[in-house]
Chains A and B, each alone.
Chain A
Amino acid sequence: AQSVAQPEDQVNVAEGNPLTVKCTYSVSGNPYLFWYVQYPNRGLQFLLKYITGDNLVKGSYGFEAEFNKSQTSFHLKKPSALVSDSALYFCAVRDVYNFNKFYFGSGTKLNVKP
C-alpha cells in the first residue's frame, strides 16, 4: 500500500528559529511527493513538490523540503519561522500506478510563537 506518515500532530517553534515538519513515505518505485499548507477556513494550497532531480526542493514562502531516499523521508523545512507560518501542513504522495490519485498524511499543526 502507498502512504505517507506525519509522525507529529503538532510542532511548536519560536519565531526566527528554524522549523522542520516531518514526513515519511511508503511507495514502491519512485515517489512523487508534495507539501500543502492549510490556513484556517481555507482550502489546501500547494507549497512544493519533488518529482526527480535535486534532493532539496524549494517552494513558496521560503519553504524547502529535503528528499532522502535511504530514509524514505521528505521533511519540510524553513530556516527562519514566521508567526504567519502557523497553519496545518500536509504531506502527500501520488499513486505510482494511478497518476490521478493522491494520498495525504494526517497533517501537522505548526505553531510559531512570537
Chain B
Amino acid sequence: DADVTQTPRNRITKTGKRIMLECSQTKGHDRMYWYRQDPGLGLRLIYYSFDVKDINKGEISDGYSVSRQAQAKFSLSLESAIPNQTALYFCATSEIPGQGPNTDTQYFGPGTRLTVL
C-alpha cells in the first residue's frame, strides 16, 4: 500500500462544497483508476487514465471530474458534493496490459473515507 498513497484519509464536508482527493504512486505504472466503495455494492469505477493525455469515464462518472497532473498523480474532484457521494474512495494503479508478469494486477491505495453532510 505504501506505493500508492491517498490524501486525505478522512474528510467531512458539507453539501455544495468542492473537494479534491489526491492520489500519488511510486510504482511507475501508467494506468491509474478511481473507484468508490459502498456497502453491498462492491467497487465501482469512476474514472481511469492510461497516461496524462488519456482519461476515460467509468461506470459512475457523473458528479466527478479528474486530473492527471503527471504519471504519478491522479486527482479526483467533486465539484459540488452531495450526500449520496458519501463513500470510501480508492485509487489504484496497474501495468500496461500484456507487459510483465503482474499485468492485470491492480495495486490499491489505503482509501479516503468521505462524508458529505
Interface residues in chain A, defined as those with a beta carbon under 8 Å from any beta carbon in chain B: 6, 9, 32, 34, 36, 41-46, 49, 51, 90, 94, 99-107
| Interface status of B20 (Cβ within 8 A of chain A) | no
- List B contacts of A45 (CB < 8 A): 1, 108
- List B contacts of A34 (CB < 8 A): 104-105
Chain B residues with a Cβ closer than 8 Å to the other chain, count: 27
Contact call B108/A44, Cβ cutoff below 8 A = yes
Task: Name the interface residues of B64-85: CB closer than 8 Å to any CB of A.
Answer: none
Pick the residue among A43, A51, A101 that contacts B1 (CB under 8 A): A43
Contact call A105/B42, Cβ cutoff below 8 A = yes
- List B contacts of A94 (CB < 8 A): 104
Given contacts A100-B97, A104-B42, contact A43 B104 (CB under 8 A): no
Pick the residue among A46, A101, A106 that contacts B41 (CB under 8 A): A106
Bound complex: CA A100 to CA B98 (Å): 11
Contact call A100/B42, Cβ cutoff below 8 A = no
Contact call B105/A102, Cβ cutoff below 8 A = no
Given contacts A51-B104, A100-B31, A102-B106, contact A42 B42 (CB under 8 A): no
Bound complex: CA A102 to CA B35 (Å): 10
- List A contacts of B107 (CB < 8 A): 46
Bound complex: CA A95 to CA B90 (Å): 19
Task: Name the interface residues of B44-66: CB closer than 8 Å to any CB of A.
Answer: 44-45, 48, 50, 56, 58
